[in-house]
Amino acid sequence: MSCPQCPCPEICLGWDLFCTWAKAGDPERLAHIRNRSRLALKPELAPGPPPAVALARLAIVAACPHRQPSSPCGCSGATCSLKTGAFVTHADCLECAGKPQSPATPPRMPS
């Protein structure tokens, strides 16, 4: 059950507080709703890359010049200058680091 404003209806937790936040439309709270809802996914629905690739991506994220570790809500996350200072999660950064044409990705990345 999800509200019409739900930012992630496919994995909605159906929590009243999240529906209230979604109706208000605050981008930081919408990001929180999406990120918290992702935690409920079963591991088999969100497989990760092989360990060597995961470690390489973590190194890319740590060295990314566009990432500023900080979060307005107290969650672990950062802001990204590529997204005009938007709040991003570790998952967002790892996804970006995995793109071959990403500005955060060095020329040689293990596959």
Instruction: Convert the pLDDT of each residue in 20-53 to its tens digit.
Output: 999 998 888 888 888 888 887 765 655 677 889 8
Total domains present in the chain: 2
In terms of domains, do 68 and 91 share one?
A: yes
Question: What is the per-residue pLDDT across 46-103, written as a single tens digit (0 to 9) for each?
Answer: 567 788 988 988 888 888 888 888 765 656 678 888 877 677 887 788 888 877 765 6
pTM of the model: 0.47
Q: 90 and 55 in one domain?
A: yes
C-alpha to C-alpha distance for 27 and 39, rounded to whole angstroms: 19
Note down the domain range covering 59. Answer: 48-97
Quick one: 39 and 70 in the same domain?
no
Q: Distance between CA atoms of 91 and 94, rounded to whole angstroms? A: 5
pLDDT single digits (tens) 46-56? 567 788 988 98
Q: Based on the fold, state whether residues 53 and 37 are members of the same structural domain.
A: no
Residue 93 shares a structural domain with residue 56: yes
